[in-house]
Amino acid sequence: MENMIGVLLAGGRSQRFGQPKAFAQFEGKCFWEHSIDAMKEVTNKQIIISHPDIVHFFEETSRNEILMDDIHVRGKGPLAGIYTAMKYEKAEWYMILSCDIPLINKKIIRCLVDAREQGTLAIIPKINNRIHPLVGVYHYSTFEYIDEALQKERYKMMSLLEKINVKYLSDNFILANQDAFCNINSQEDYIALQNSDTIKEL
Residues at the binding site are: 9-11, 21, 69, 100
Q: Which residues are annotated as part of the binding site for Mg(2+)?
A: 100
Burial class (CB in 10 A: 0-12, 13-18, 19+), 62: middle
DSSP per residue over 56-92, as a string?
HHHHHH--SEEEEPPTTTTTS-HHHHHHHHHHHS-EE
Q: Which amino acid is at 161?
A: L
- Sign for the pseudo-dihedral over CA of 40, 182, 75, 169: positive
Q: Which residues are annotated as part of the binding site for GTP?
A: 9-11, 21, 69, 100
The H or E element spanning position 192 is helix 187-195
174 phi and psi, to 5 degrees?
-80, -30
Long-range contacts of 129-132 (CB under 8 A, 24+ apart): 130/181, 131/158, 131/161, 131/168, 132/181
Task: Give 191's contacts (C-beta < 8 A, 6+ positions apart).
Answer: none
